[in-house]
Structure 1
Amino acid sequence: MTHFFKICFCSGCLILLSSQFIFAQIEKAEVIPLSISVRDSILSELSNAGSDSLQLEAVFKRIRRRRRTLKDSYKAVLHTYIRHCSDEGFERGEMLMLDRMGVNERFAGRFDSAVYYHNQSLVLALQQGDSLQLSYNYNNLGQVYRLQDMSSLAIANFHKALAIQEAIGNTKGAAYTQNTLGAAYVVQEDYPKALYYFNQSLESASNVGDKRTMSYNYGAIGEVYLLQDQVDSAMYYFNEAKNIKLEIGDKKGLAVAQHLIGQAWYAAGNMEEASASFQTALSSHIKNRNTRYAALCYDFMGKIMLVENKMDSAAYYLDKAKVIAEKVHKFEYLMSINKSLIELYQKREDWPLAIEVLNENQTIRDSVFNLKKNKAIQTLEIEYQTEKRQHQIDLLSAENDLKNQGIQLGIAIIVLLLLSIALGVYVQSARRKRGVLERDKLKQQLLRSQMNPHFLFNALGSIQSYMYKNDVKNAARYMGNFAALTRSILNNSNVEQVSLEEELSTLRNYLELEKMRMQNSFDYKIELPDTLDIEFVDVPPMMVQPFVENAIKHGVKDMSEGGMISISFKEEGELLHVVVVDNGIGLKKSINAANKSHRSMATAIFNQRIKIIQKNYPNVPAPLIQDISGAGTSGTQIDIFLPIMELSSHE
């Protein structure tokens, strides 16, 4: 065992709950029969997989994608998968799913159980020398401790995760960990360190084009400045966060950014702007069921009403805030809300109510103090047990090293000779494979670079048509949308895969632009089944757009009104089945009407890309184009099949 893994092992072996107790509780839990067919289908696949690692990997990915569909069955399916992998000796699957189980327990607020599972996964990662998984485990342990206000333990685990990520060159993971480190230092009110790590995360995310993490960091930096009463700096960073949220189409994140801007306006004393920002944010928070920010919004609206001496409105908002805060057990929110209620009752000269809320706040403050004290004691105990276990590991490791030195030397000589023989063969083979891989990779990038300028050229033509008509307002609006779309395309031009959520955002933006250009002569609809988790399904970028473009250019372009383009998505095993239907003139008439010399560049590029993709995903069939014209109807249907690719990031 190397020195690096000895150091890592200290937290991996710290198990807070016994495995017998955890598994006994899970086995007793009643599985609510929701989405029974999906659950039974997965369990059947798992049973049939036996010890086949490829099939077990496929089942693992399916479980991850179906977690929302499984709902109450999800935990039981995770547990069954863990048991199956343990029985079959597939340690990698067991390791990955133990980590998933830890994440599930953390989301459910069962923190001791979450620590147990992440540590179990970490032990297996150490045994297999899986550095990437180790970084995930340490990061997830840090998240669990952070949510329990155990900042020192959270920071220690985040630093371990960051050290591994930097060592293996995982820049995207490092950006995420740096952000969480910054958040942990904010809790400790160490603002210089918090800013340092947020800025480090911002730089790392910028280097890999991770817009989502960039927006998180802009918002977090703004919050640190706001905590230090530097309102102008805070406002700048909040607006930067808002602009990126708009660019990537993150509606939930946009509401949070709008909320933070409201807080900055409130701190600046501009109640009118603050109220407008909070009202905008509040409607989104309610729609998105973001109870945390909804409570904060109501609280700030109540504070604004107090400043404006609108007592009835203040009471309304503060009561709303308190109901939510009590429901989600947010003590820090309750203390802030109660402080405003005390001010309200004082202004109304309702002294009994003011004293009642004052006493309630003191009780909450005492509870928070006791909770923090208990957490501090628990943190010290965990740190002591960790250090004790590490000391035992070091002693055993030293003893084993002495015993094994002689044996290891002999084995090393034999292995060295065998490796020398095998190395020559391997190097030649690896060079050939690397050459083929690099050619395919470069060809993919070249084809994407061909597609993007072609796509941009068509969109620029749309803007030009508005300018010819001297329609300044719509030209400006179109230009704004086009700029957002351009950034999205450029971000995706250097990546092999994107989430279906990102792909849909780009597709919707393109359709909206074309719809404006054609004066709303057509409409569109995108149909997604509830079971398709678009955040966790990765596909090759810009593969559907060429066919949507053809549906517009050759299907509905001559229709003055009533055009319709329908796009539906359905998961079929390891493939994503996309169906594009238009009610245009139909395939045969479209071919006859087109100039014989015309050749669709976008479609040609698609065909070349799909051939390259089929080298890694041979089960991907070619697209099927058919004329669906019939009695009184016309149109074209295109069936496209895309591979569901290995997830590019870890939760």
Structure 2
Amino acid sequence: MNTQSLTKKWSKTICLAFLYSLSIFSNCYSKGNRIQSSDLKDSLISLLKKSGNDTLMIDSVYAHIRINRRRLGEEYKNTLLEYIDYTTKIQYSRGAMRMYDRLGLNERYDERYDSAVYYHLKSLELALELKDSFQMAYNYNNIGQAYRLQDINNLAIKNFHKALELQEANGNDKGASFTQNTLGAVYVVQKEYDQAMHYFRESQKIAVRRKDQRTQSYNLGAIGEVFLLRDQPDSAIVYFNTAKDIKQQMGDKKGLAVSKHLVGQAYFKKGNYVEAQKFLNEALVIHQKYNNERYIALCFDYLGKVKLKQNQFSEAGAYLLKAKEIASNIHSYENLISINNSLKEYYQEMDKWPMAMLAIQQNQQINDSLFSLKKTREMQALEIEYETEKQEQQIKLLSAENEIKEQRLKIGIAIITLLVLTIAFGIFIQKEKQKRFVLERDKVKQQLLRSQMNPHFLFNALGSIQSYMYQNDVKTAARYMGNFASLTRSILNNSAVEQVSLEEEISTLTNYLELEKMRLQSNFQYSIKVPEEMDIEFITVPPMLIQPFVENAIKHGIKNYTSGGKVELTFEETSDLIHVIIEDNGEGIDTTRGKMVSSHKSMATSIFKQRMKIIRDKFPNVPEPVIADLSDVNRKGTRIDLYLPILELTSTSNA
């Protein structure tokens, strides 16, 4: 193929990529930012099939499917199935493995528990083939959750223990803490309080070490409930109040309401009805605000019990009848048993013996139904356990210890091999070290807000592409075009969402920095440092709050460099915050004028201030950004310390 035809081929490829990115951009922003779920599904599957065997592109489609779960709506499950069919067809087992797990979660959320277990087992089969012990832990945990929600507690416990063994071996403290918390909750249902207390305390040790306030509050509340079940209300009150203080500090109003009504229950059991009524009323106000019917019924029930103890029978009857109406509507049978017992006492005090007898009969019917359901589930558990063990044998389930040992052995061999090669060829590649810096490839799962795509950036990008093509440098032009199209797709697909994973945010920054580096013809180097133990895939943060600072570091910090410029990003996890450090070796700034001062006050910076104001309204513990001139510490450049809140994430551990 001659140079002219090659140039024509690459030009066509670049144009198609550009037109495709613009067509998606136009489609998504038309009709008031609305897009039909079927159209979105077709676009994603079309992009998947165009990916061929490019696993990077396939993984990016996976990320977009996850992000657009709500927008896909009823097409979400079909999209997952088509993704699995395609990755199975091209023998990309890792893609199918992750999507089977995602499909199992979808079935669980829709209360189709049998199919949820089936899909998680399919994911587990592939995880075993790939010797992926981290994915195995997710699978066992998710299988345990499906059994737990069906009250098949023996199988739930069995799978949670398998997950916990893997998490501890992998050093996954966060996952282990969640699983221990869930195990404790299952043992409470089983009335095995010593076992429950053990796992709550083990989870708490990790949560304290990790400064994980959310899990600490869960564990403290759970320990308090065990004390309450053991008729130790004084100890229960201590733990409930500590959990309440943490939730108040975090701004968790729903959790605060739960803690308040637990404190009220403990005071009721202690016989202090005045304090009980006070805390129950405070909890009721919050529960009603969020329309949490189960807890509203519970508060009315206990307020009725308080009034019975105070011989205020008229008010007691009103509370208990409200509680019964709500509990009946939501089929909360445990609440109904407690309410009927209180109503029986109320009717006896009012000499309404037929009504008292009716309450007793209703409880007997509920208990008979629950007993029958329990026996049915026990039989079901035996059958499921047999089938599960048979499936595990069919896929030759490996023990966690052997899996991890084999992985460590392979890593050890790889390290030794790398060291030998490095020593053998070190002399010959000394001059090539700087060229071997490997950039993390963009996975096209970022969120870039529309404000980031200003005309200046677009003109620069298109001008650079045009320049490369005039120079007949089609490879560089194609590479630049690919990164530009990826960045455009990210902005478009995520402009409506409020959170992304930290992994996606880092990938976005990498892509942006690489584009700027190519445009400026490598007049600077950049680095992004992330601790290995940070679970960036499962940490979610507000999107595109870091990019404006990176943009200023390039455009104003190192703007006068023709070479030797540096931009460094460092990520750290502290309690419920992500700490981001952005440094450049530019000329520095004058920090005496206050917050966020520079010679360039961009629209992105203005939007950042507005967004941070909204974020601090919800998360008052998020500090202001701190900008420091490094010349004050005998260095050159600027350092920015930025803090982002870790947002709420639907967890598979259900802790």
Same topology, TM > 0.5: yes
Distance 1:246 1:267 in 2: 24
Q: Deviations over 1:436-478 (max 9, x none)?
A: 99xxxxxxxxxxxxxxxxxxxxxxxxxxxxxxxxxxxxxxxxx
Paired position in structure 2 for 1:95: 97
Alpha carbons of structure 1 residues 59 and 291: separation in structure 2 relative to 1, 3 Å: farther
1:130 aligns with 2:171: no
**Equivalences for residues 513-592 of structure 1 within 5 A:** 541=579, 553=594, 578-580=607-609
Match of 2:199 among 177, 197, 202: 197
Q: Is the 8 A contact 1:503 1:541 kept in 2?
A: no
**Equivalences for residues 254-269 of structure 1 within 5 A:** 254-269=256-271
Paired position in structure 2 for 1:40: 39
Paired position in structure 1 for 2:541: 500
Alpha carbons of structure 1 residues 555 and 313: separation in structure 2 relative to 1, 3 Å: farther
TM-score (ref. length: structure 1): 0.59
Paired position in structure 2 for 1:187: 189
Paired position in structure 2 for 1:79: 81
- How far the C-alpha of 1:367 sits from its partner, in A, is 0.6
Distance 2:363 2:187 in 1: 26
Where relative contact order (Cα < 8 A, 6+ residues apart) is larger, the structure is: 2
Distance 1:157 1:105 in 2: 18
Paired position in structure 2 for 1:104: 106
**More displaced 10-residue stretch of structure 1: 385-394 or 51-60:** 385-394
- How far the C-alpha of 1:555 sits from its partner, in A, is 9.8
Paired position in structure 1 for 2:151: 149
1:291 aligns with 2:293: yes
Distance 2:243 2:35 in 1: 41
Paired position in structure 2 for 1:305: 307
Alpha carbons of structure 1 residues 378 and 185: separation in structure 2 relative to 1, 3 Å: same
Q: What SS is found at the alignment partner of 1:61?
A: helix
Paired position in structure 2 for 1:374: 376
1:243 aligns with 2:245: yes
Q: What SS is found at the alignment partner of 2:354?
A: helix
Distance 1:71 1:362 in 2: 42
Distance 2:335 2:650 in 1: 36
- How far the C-alpha of 1:77 sits from its partner, in A, is 3.6
Q: Is the 8 A contact 1:150 1:379 kept in 2?
A: yes
- How far the C-alpha of 1:551 sits from its partner, in A, is 14
Q: What SS is found at the alignment partner of 2:355?
A: helix
Paired position in structure 2 for 1:321: 323
Distance 1:234 1:367 in 2: 32
- How far the C-alpha of 1:42 sits from its partner, in A, is 5.5
Q: Is the 8 A contact 2:628 2:639 kept in 1?
A: no
Match of 2:360 among 358, 361, 369: 358
Q: Is the 8 A contact 2:542 2:645 kept in 1?
A: no
Q: Is the 8 A contact 2:180 2:202 kept in 1?
A: yes
Alpha carbons of structure 1 residues 323 and 603: separation in structure 2 relative to 1, 3 Å: farther
Identity, % of aligned pairs?
A: 46
Q: Is the 8 A contact 1:35 1:69 kept in 2?
A: no
Q: Is the 8 A contact 1:500 1:539 kept in 2?
A: no
**More displaced 10-residue stretch of structure 1: 277-286 or 418-427:** 418-427
Paired position in structure 1 for 2:627: 602
Distance 2:543 2:247 in 1: 12
Distance 1:325 1:419 in 2: 61
- How far the C-alpha of 1:602 sits from its partner, in A, is 1.4
Paired position in structure 1 for 2:236: 234
Match of 2:420 among 408, 421, 424: 424
Q: Is the 8 A contact 1:102 1:115 kept in 2?
A: yes
- How far the C-alpha of 1:420 sits from its partner, in A, is 7.7
Q: What SS is found at the alignment partner of 1:265?
A: helix
Task: Report the structure, 1 or 2, having the larger helix content.
Answer: 1
Amino acid across the alignment from 1:500: V
- How far the C-alpha of 1:85 sits from its partner, in A, is 3.1
Equivalent residue pairs, number: 442
Distance 2:329 2:301 in 1: 15
- How far the C-alpha of 1:223 sits from its partner, in A, is 0.5
- How far the C-alpha of 1:495 sits from its partner, in A, is 6.8
Match of 1:333 among 318, 321, 335: 335
- How far the C-alpha of 1:58 sits from its partner, in A, is 2.6
Q: Deviations over 1:517-537 (max 9, x none)?
A: xxxxxxxxxxxxxxxxxxxxx
Amino acid across the alignment from 2:378: A
Paired position in structure 1 for 2:115: 113
Q: Is the 8 A contact 2:595 2:626 kept in 1?
A: no
Q: Is the 8 A contact 1:46 1:56 kept in 2?
A: no
Q: What SS is found at the alignment partner of 2:609?
A: strand
Q: Deviations over 1:158-203 (max 9, x none)?
A: 1000000011110110001111111111111111111111000000
Alpha carbons of structure 1 residues 347 and 67: separation in structure 2 relative to 1, 3 Å: farther
- How far the C-alpha of 1:553 sits from its partner, in A, is 4.8
Amino acid across the alignment from 1:179: N
- How far the C-alpha of 1:41 sits from its partner, in A, is 3.5
**Equivalences for residues 363-402 of structure 1 within 5 A:** 363-388=365-390
Alpha carbons of structure 1 residues 436 and 219: separation in structure 2 relative to 1, 3 Å: farther
Q: What SS is found at the alignment partner of 1:580?
A: helix
Paired position in structure 2 for 1:530: none
Amino acid across the alignment from 1:219: G
Amino acid across the alignment from 1:228: R
Q: Is the 8 A contact 1:181 1:197 kept in 2?
A: yes
- How far the C-alpha of 1:330 sits from its partner, in A, is 2.2
Distance 1:57 1:298 in 2: 50
Distance 1:86 1:376 in 2: 36
Distance 1:220 1:133 in 2: 28
Paired position in structure 2 for 1:484: none
Distance 1:188 1:424 in 2: 56
Paired position in structure 1 for 2:279: 277
Alpha carbons of structure 1 residues 248 and 342: separation in structure 2 relative to 1, 3 Å: same
Distance 2:542 2:220 in 1: 22
Paired position in structure 2 for 1:49: 48
Q: Deviations over 1:398-447 (max 9, x none)?
A: xxxxxxxxxxxxxxxxxx99998666226899x989x999xxxxxxxxxx
Distance 2:239 2:162 in 1: 29
- How far the C-alpha of 1:109 sits from its partner, in A, is 2.0
**Equivalences for residues 400-479 of structure 1 within 5 A:** 424-425=420-421
Q: What SS is found at the alignment partner of 1:175?
A: helix
Distance 1:422 1:496 in 2: 26
Distance 1:392 1:206 in 2: 41
Q: Is the 8 A contact 1:496 1:541 kept in 2?
A: no
- How far the C-alpha of 1:392 sits from its partner, in A, is 6.3
Task: Give ranges in structure 1 of 5+ residues lacking alignment.
Answer: 1-33, 398-415, 438-491, 505-537, 545-549, 557-566, 570-576, 583-599, 614-639
Distance 1:294 1:173 in 2: 32
Alpha carbons of structure 1 residues 223 and 496: separation in structure 2 relative to 1, 3 Å: closer
Amino acid across the alignment from 1:136: Y
**Equivalences for residues 203-222 of structure 1 within 5 A:** 203-222=205-224
Alpha carbons of structure 1 residues 298 and 45: separation in structure 2 relative to 1, 3 Å: same
Q: Deviations over 1:24-47 (max 9, x none)?
A: xxxxxxxxxx96446633541342
Distance 1:359 1:316 in 2: 21
Q: Is the 8 A contact 2:41 2:72 kept in 1?
A: no
Q: Is the 8 A contact 1:42 1:59 kept in 2?
A: no
- How far the C-alpha of 1:603 sits from its partner, in A, is 6.2
Distance 1:168 1:418 in 2: 19
